[in-house]
Chains A and B, each alone.
Chain A
């Protein structure tokens, strides 16, 4: 192909440099990378996947099977990009990678955008049918989005010489587009591909923005934008795809679809030195006409039909172009591998024509993936010899070529019809609108020619799928191997498994399979497609949800104080919580040990704001909580709380927490940080589905209250400073009691005497935004006792020393309260969710996994959590007796310890087990889970500080 001196819609005054495989070329503004390569004389783009045959551009749109490149920018690299979908820009760099792309290890600094859009009608495709549909919809006042995959609207009108409403197709497209653009509620997306259509009008659209511009022009623009469109109605107007004909050596660069050849001429002024057209339809003659009118030499039009061609054939003949009745049965190449000769088989014999471009038209078929991927019905259409969408899906309209509508006039009318139908469903008034008058010739019936047999019988060079190097011989092998279903043949031959999903190969492979298995074409069908329509980057899917916007990071109101104390943070669910507060030069173990010692021997404080808090109130509140918690609730006196747990219906532990009774019919319930939302959902589920008549209301108040735990034998002294108005003495404020009063000058603060460390502890709750005030006051009040902030690391050690469990860490999905050592709390007197399951024989088996404590024989070795425990060590496989759920080094006891779930564990205390880990076998001894203060003496503080 060569660039003509004039013509096309390229801007010749703007020359652009680009690099392909390290060599510099030039093209023009308005080129695609594909047209620029062809214009620069680069016809061989690369080698095929398995046979290493030269391949080039064979299409201008979605049919492309081989014209893929790796696009490289300073920001990022993008594999498997269709060259005809890339707008040429100054400095574009691409590499020959037609089948396998690559990704780079470095961070992608490109920006990707994601937006939501909503409309009454989304028109997919801005060809004649789509534009007409959009015009009608906009005139009726509908909110409309038009999505066009090409940078320019118009579809087939961009390549075909037609007259609409007395003007050229291009002029009609321009004026229609302008009118749509100036409408109030019409959004026009070009360079945007609908990647998938979903139920209920959902559309995922990828729009190429910055990627189509020179790097220096991108500015703050995103590379691409993912649109999530929700349309009340969609109108599928995606047109048709052209089908190639299979013959020997049909893969040479220079052999392309006839419509593509016409598009490269009309838009980019690219014409052959000497062209041959091989067509089984009238449409192919349009290419010959266009070439001839542009001054290119047309060697011949080859048509298998004896009578075919009609008015278009006559027009070509009238130009003096030779029309041959026959078929192309092979091709020859030059030294580079480009097409050089075309072998034509006619009734009179074999003739070889010199040609650099062979335009092939094997007919058209609907571009219907967005319909068929959702299992939309199709029917076999004999005229097109293809499956055509039949009954629209819910919310879907189908218009124009994709519905098998042939002529331009009919497509325009069909677009209007589809819009009127959609507007009718939406109840929008329809403005009358005439379909523009079109001047076009009628076409004669296409021949059903898919394949020309190889003259020498060697079908291993007759390509069905150029992307996958799959040939007629390969399909024969598949059938001979017993594959008859088209999906089996697909998987045997890999036809249609490339990035382009074998769009140009599917029908041909189906027909071939039908012939080889002696069945009807309509019975074999074609293999299914799947989203996305074209390859897309994961980065584009993520859109803006990356880096600091990837997932919500939740922080407490006291977070700035932790930062000021140089805390080390860790994620706990979505929360960011302090692990520890290291001092300069301190080791991790040193920090954790110091924080633990402070709590055990003086006083520490912790931000417990993330604890789930739920307000439960109403006349039936007590009844309701009795149903969900395993222990008695009604017996909790007002002003006191109880440690409790809830089960799922299968008797497994859902969560544990405190039930604090604030008033007769009002409770304050706590839940684990990670289970707070699940517990609220659990309560609401029961209330909404089983007991809607019960008068109880559940309100999550986690973020209403900041909570600071003041913990340790000196906690009472600190609290005395903070809350002089509250009687904190052991007698007046016993364990599990709640008091309201003024703390740190804040009225109405709630103080609860609960403990997750076994030490004397006061948990103080104030409004969320007052948390920092409370924290600062506690730090100041505790300074005489060197009050020490502690984090999750120390908390883990402290609670483990006491055998306090964390649901989800020390329990599994089947662990019951009995297994976890919480059997003492299970009420025998009342019914609760999960109770019946707990009585089932399997729940009572003595060999269930039960929670135990353990110590390592070597006190310095800390086992990894999750380590398996065995009775005998030998070559794997070994019988696993249980696993380690929590471990830590206890500075208080000066040894490593932990918790484990062990088969029949509670009856095995004192037994020696082994943990085979990466660097050896660690012997452990099973012990009671409570390692520190088993009598619970420390809970109320030191005797000598009690008043």
Chain B
């Protein structure tokens, strides 16, 4: 059975950072060797750090809400080299677990999520149906996190639930992948 669960995220920060020196300072503040490269994410001391675009990252902190974190990171970046914006409520996290997760997503997401292509440290901005999401591959054989704006959450959930309720990919005549 496929599990779709809503995961609370205590804090999300939109990080903008320009220049090598600022990136190094920010990585150091987050206790990671370097900022993630395009479409990759990494676990940092303060949560998952996802690459969203050039100069643009999302820090998703599942643990406790650290009031001082935005200021701490903004100081690390420096006032002229980027920005830290609190977007803690601007996305919700939906986790899709179990072996058929990739098949569920193949019904509504155009990306190639084969493990050889979308590995455990991958993330991407994409669409579920027509709703923009950030898709994050989680550790494990076939687990994904979907970060979606709260307003289309119902719509995205309906797409996923429909695929879960009608697992037609299991039925012949289709072959196995």
Contacts and interface: CB of A to CB of B under 8 A. Distances in A.
Contact of B16 (A188, A697, A704, A705): A697
A695 B80 contact: yes
A189 interface: yes
A743 B83 CA distance: 27
Nearest to A230: B112
Interface string A431-462: 00000000000000000000000000000000
- Dominant SS at the A interface? mixed
Contact of A553 (B81, B91, B154, B162): B154
Contacts, number: 134
A498 B151 CA distance: 46
A699 B89 contact: no
Contacts of B55: 697
A417 interface: no
Contact of A115 (B107, B154, B159, B171): B107
Contacts of A704: 86-90
Contacts of B110: 116, 228, 230
A695 B107 contact: no
A549 B108 CA distance: 10
Contacts of B16: 697, 699
A225 to B, nearest CB: 7
Q: How large is the interface on B (under 10, 10 to 19, 20 to 34, 35 or more residues)?
A: 35 or more
A428 B91 CA distance: 40
Interface string A165-189: 0000000000000001110011111
A679 B58 CA distance: 21
A278 B22 CA distance: 81
Nearest to A706: B89
A535 interface: no
Nearest to B159: A549
Contacts of A189: 174-175
B83 A552 contact: no
B162 A552 contact: no
Nearest to B54: A688
Interface stretch (A418-426, A612-620, A814-822): A612-620
A575 B175 contact: no
Interface stretch (A518-526, A554-562, A863-871): A554-562
B152 A618 contact: no
B168 A209 contact: yes
A68 to B, nearest CB: 24
A229 to B, nearest CB: 11
Nearest to B116: A143
B87 A220 contact: no
Given A699-B83, A703-B89, A114 B107 contact: yes
B56 to A, nearest CB: 9
Given A117-B106, A618-B83, A697-B16, A552 B130 contact: yes
B117 A118 contact: yes
B129 A549 contact: yes
Interface string A677-718: 000000000000000000101010111110000000000000
Interface string A553-577: 1111100000000000000001100
Contacts of A143: 114, 116
A289 B135 CA distance: 60
B88 A767 contact: yes
Interface extent on A, as a size class?
A: 35 or more
B46 interface: no
B158 interface: yes
Interface in B154-177: 154-155, 158-159, 162-163, 166, 168-169, 171, 173-177
A42 to B, nearest CB: 27
Contacts of B89: 703-705, 767-770
A699 B79 contact: no
Contacts of A207: 174
B168 A222 contact: yes
B63 interface: no
B87 A552 contact: no
Interface string B97-116: 00000000011111110101
A115 B152 CA distance: 21
Among B87, B109, B174, the one with the most A-chain Cβ atoms within 10 Å of its Cβ is B174
A552 B175 contact: no
Nearest to A616: B83
A111 B83 contact: no
A732 interface: no
A111 B83 CA distance: 47
B151 A703 contact: yes
A190 interface: yes
Contact of A552 (B107, B109, B152): B152
A551 B175 CA distance: 31
A187 B162 CA distance: 23
A703 B163 CA distance: 27
B79 A619 contact: yes
A113 interface: yes
Nearest to A767: B89
Contact of A187 (B14, B107, B130, B177): B177
B168 to A, nearest CB: 6
Nearest to A768: B89
Nearest to A677: B132
A552 B174 contact: no
A191 interface: yes
B166 A111 contact: yes
B25 interface: no
A544 B159 contact: yes
A221 interface: yes
A187 B175 contact: yes
B113 to A, nearest CB: 8
A554 B152 CA distance: 5
A182 B175 CA distance: 9
Contacts of B159: 544, 549
Interface in A174-229: 180-182, 185-191, 207, 209, 220-222, 225, 228
B116 to A, nearest CB: 8
Given A703-B90, A768-B150, A549 B155 contact: yes
A699 B168 contact: no
Given A544-B107, A703-B90, A769-B150, A697 B82 contact: yes
B81 A695 contact: yes
Interface string A87-118: 00000000000000000000000010111111
A265 to B, nearest CB: 25
A838 interface: no
B174 A544 contact: no
Contact of B150 (A116, A181, A557): A557
A220 B162 CA distance: 11
A918 interface: no
A612 to B, nearest CB: 12
Given A190-B173, A228-B110, A768-B89, A552 B131 contact: yes
A143 B117 CA distance: 11
A775 to B, nearest CB: 15
Nearest to A615: B85
A548 interface: yes
Contact of B108 (A117, A188, A544): A544
Interface in B94-146: 106-112, 114, 116-117, 129-131
A545 interface: yes
Contacts of B81: 695
B46 to A, nearest CB: 19
Interface in B9-68: 14, 16, 18, 55
Given A113-B107, A222-B166, A767-B89, 19 more contacts: A116-B110, A116-B111, A118-B117, A151-B173, A188-B175, A189-B174, A209-B173, A221-B171, A225-B168, A548-B155, A548-B158, A555-B154, A665-B79, A695-B81, A697-B83, A697-B85, A701-B90, A703-B90, A703-B91
21 contacts: A114-B107, A115-B106, A116-B107, A187-B176, A188-B175, A191-B173, A207-B174, A544-B107, A544-B108, A544-B159, A545-B129, A551-B130, A552-B129, A552-B152, A554-B155, A555-B151, A556-B151, A697-B85, A699-B83, A703-B90, A703-B150
In the A-B complex, the 5 residue pairs with the smallest Cβ-Cβ separation, listed nearest first, are A188-B175, A554-B151, A118-B112, A768-B89, A767-B89
